[in-house]
Amino acid sequence: MVQEEAERFGKYRPVKINGQIYNHPLGLNLYNFNNARCIIPKARMAVIFEGEKSVLKAQTYFGFENDIYVACCGSSISSYQIQLLVDAGAQEIIIAFDR
C-alpha cells in the first residue's frame, strides 16, 4: 500500500501505481474457493461468510477435511458466485452473514 493514499482515502482501496489501478472484481471471486471446491461435492453444501477471517476460524474449528467455507469479501453475493458453488456440486448454500 501507498502510505499517503491509505491515510487520505482509507486502507481498503485499490493501489494506483504510475496511473495503473491494481484491483480485482470481488463479485467474480470467492475467498478459499480453491480449497473448498474439492470438498463441496462430497458434502453437497457450501457456507458463504462475509469475511475471510470467518473462513479461517471455521477451518480451525472443523478441520480442513470439512472445508466447505468461502467468503464473498463483502456484504453482497453475486449470481456468478452462486453459480461457482453450484457448478462445484453444492446443492445447499448456507449464507452466514453477520447481519
Lowest mean pLDDT among 9-18, 43-52, 55-64: 9-18
**Average pLDDT rounded to a whole number, residues 79-99:** 96
Nearest to 24 by CA among 98, 97, 74: 74
- pTM score, whole prediction: 0.80
- Residue pair 94/45 in contact (Cβ under 8 Å)? The answer is yes
Q: Looking at residue 15, what is its pLDDT?
A: 74
| Partners of 13 in the β-ladder | none
pLDDT category at 99 given cuts 50, 70, 90 is confident
- Give all domains of the chain, ordered by start, each with its CATH number: 25-96 (3.40.1360.10)
| Choice between 11 and 41, residue whose per-residue pLDDT is larger | 41
> Is a pLDDT exceeding 80 seen at residue 42?
yes
